[in-house]
Amino acid sequence: MIYHNLAEISGDFDLFLFDAYGVFWEGSKFYAGSLETMQALVAQGKTVAVISNSTQLNDDLMKTYAKRGMTAGRDYNYMLSSGDVLRQHLLKADIAFAKCPHPRKYYVIGKPHGKAFAATPYSEVATMEEADFIYCGVPFLYEEDVATYPQYKDMYWPVKNNESDGRKVWDTTTAEPFVARVKKAMALGLPVLNANPDFTAKEGHPLVPEAEAVFVVRNGTVAEMFRKRGAEVVEYGKPHANIYDYTFALLKENGIAVNKKRTCMIGDTVRTDVKGAVNAGIAPILCVETGVTAEEISNGKTVKSLCTEQNIDVQQIIQIKSVGGL
């Protein structure tokens, strides 16, 4: 059975964990009815927490959505990011790899994200040869990348100009421009740290406002390139336990009782949201007409086949068309 929207089953739960992209955020706008549904849950006294695979820290993520029109206290109660989970571990200096138990120097592939590492024992280096590990930043491209790989020019989408140096930044729908860097890091035997396991994200592009939002490469794709080549990859975020442990601990600190039988995770991706919920012992609710799953279905997949790939019984999943009903 596929429910029309989340409201049809909301009475079964007290704590609602929401993914963002593909659930209430389409990439350039909110899905119809999604914020109204979340507002109704908050008004009913339910606890609504957004847990996102994002390298931004919690406060910055809240500011990002506030600019988009999403309000804390009205639309949700808590907003938590995988980037903030990583930061707590960085502050405790407990990042460890099998062959490098006490790493300190990192080289960034993609966009640097200094806030997570600020005031920690870890420092960024300019070359891979100096590094103890690779950090997967957001896989944006810059002028030199675009010039080096002109054969993929139809797969690049201009995102913005950097505030710090004015450099233009591109998103990409192909990971090919990162292959050479991955191979070099593999040759050096470097392990990998990643704070966003998502393979893709549907993004709009402010510099091309007339263009439709498209699925672009995200950090998890680069991490997977390493993993498939045999590198050690340490990740923070869904589907891993660290982000759920972090979320439940924070809620308890704020006086929110966590009854897993009355807790659900609403997501659009079987590999991250559903698998993470199953592993955490909470109810997985899958949006099948929005986000990643809708795209996968349009490419010939089924919810059952997606679950089989992740060793999940499809009967465990509650399916809804969308949060607000399209």
If asked whether residues 226 and 108 sit together in one domain, one would say yes
Helix (H, G, I), strand (E, B) or coil at 241: helix
Q: Are residues 130 and 181 in the same domain?
A: yes
Question: Does the pLDDT value for residue 163 go beyond 70?
Answer: no
Among the candidates 235, 269, 301, a domain finishes at 235
Identify the CATH number of the domain in which residue 142 sits: 3.40.50.1000
Among 209, 235, 261, the domain-final residue is 235
Give the residue, 153 or 85, on which the prediction is more confident: 85
- Taking the mean position of all CA atoms in its chain, how far away is CA 109? 17
- Per-residue model confidence (pLDDT) at position 206: 67
300 Cβ contact partners less than 8 Å away, ≥ 6 residues apart: none
Residue 161 has pLDDT above 80, yes or no: no
Residue 94 has a pLDDT of 95
Average pLDDT for 13-42: 97
Within 8 A by CB and 6+ apart from 4, the residues are: 320, 321, 325
pLDDT tens for 261-307 read 999 999 999 999 999 999 999 999 999 999 999 999 999 999 999 99
Asked if residue 126 is part of any domain, the answer here is yes
Asked if pLDDT for residue 167 goes beyond 80, the answer is no
- Using the 3D structure, point to which of 235, 253, 283 is the last residue of a domain: 235
Residues 108 and 231 in one domain: yes
Residue 310 lies in a domain: yes
178: which strand partners? Answer: none
Handedness of CA 311, 193, 87, 195 (dihedral sign): negative
Is residue 290 located within the same domain as residue 202?
no
d(Cα 267, Cα 3) in Å, to the nearest integer? 14
Residue numbers of the domain that contains 169: 104-235
- Count the residues in the chain: 326
pLDDT computed for residue 278 by the predictor: 98
- What would the pLDDT profile of 229-256 be if each residue is shown by its tens digit? 999 999 999 999 999 999 999 999 999 9
Of 221, 318, 321, which Cα lies nearest the Cα of 9? 318
Which residue, 24, 16, 68, is CA-closest to 291? 24
71 and 183 part of one domain: no
Q: Span 51-57, mean pLDDT? A: 96
Do 246 and 306 lie in one domain? The reply is yes
Residue 164 pLDDT exceeds 70: no
Rounded CA gap, 103 and 121, in Å? 9
pLDDT of residue 122: 97
Does residue 90 lie within any of the structural domains? no
d(CA 37, CA 46): 12
| Amino acid in the structure at residue 292 | V
Backbone angles phi, psi at 269, to 5 degrees: -130, 125
What's the mean pLDDT when you consider all of the chain? 95
Whether 96 is in a domain gets the answer: no
Domain match, 220 and 256 both? no
**192 CB contacts (<8 Å, ≥6 apart)?**
133, 134, 135, 136, 185, 223, 226, 227, 231, 232, 233, 234
Q: Are residues 228 and 109 in the same domain?
A: yes
Please give the C-alpha separations between residue 55 and each of 109, 115, 129, 168, 248, in angstroms, as whole numbers. 13, 9, 25, 20, 19
Give the phi and the psi of residue 4 in degrees, each rounded to 5. -70, -45
Do 245 and 226 share a structural domain? no
For the chain, first and last CA: distance in Å? 17
Exposed/middle/buried for 181, CB within 10 Å: 0-12, 13-18, 19+?
middle
Is 24 contained in some domain? yes
Q: pLDDT per residue over 122-132, tens digit each?
A: 999 999 999 99
Question: Is residue 230 located within the same domain as residue 263?
Answer: no
Check residue 63 and give its pLDDT. 97
Instruction: Give the Cα separation of 237 and 11 in Å (integer).
Output: 28
Is 159's pLDDT higher than 90?
A: no
| 192, 178 Cβ separation under 8 angstroms | no
Model confidence over 99-108: pLDDT tens digits? 999 999 999 9
Q: In terms of domains, do 200 and 125 share one?
A: yes
pLDDT given for residue 111 in this prediction: 84
* CA 254 – CA 17 distance, rounded (Å): 16
What DSSP state is assigned to residue 282? S
Q: Which of 193, 217, 10, 227 is nearest to 103 (CA)?
A: 193
With residue 297 as reference, give the H or E element that holds it: helix 291-298
- Same domain flag for 127 and 207: yes
Provide the whole-model pTM: 0.95
Domain contains 269: yes
pLDDT value of residue 210: 63
The span from the CA of 265 to the CA of 118, in Å, is 31
pLDDT digits (tens, 9 = 90+) for 175-228: 999 999 999 999 999 999 999 999 999 998 766 666 678 899 999 999 999 999
Mean pLDDT over 49-73 rounds to 96
Q: Is 162 part of a structural domain of the chain? A: yes
Domains held by the chain: number: 2
Residue 251: per-residue pLDDT: 97
Angle subtended at Cα 260 by Cα 254 and Cα 265, rounded to the nearest 5 degrees = 90
Q: With respect to residue 325, please indicate whether it lies within any of the assigned structural domains.
A: no
Range in 83-97, 153-167, 273-287 with the lowest mean pLDDT: 153-167
| Cis ω for the linkage preceding 239 (within 30 of 0) | yes
Structure tokens at 147: 């010039």
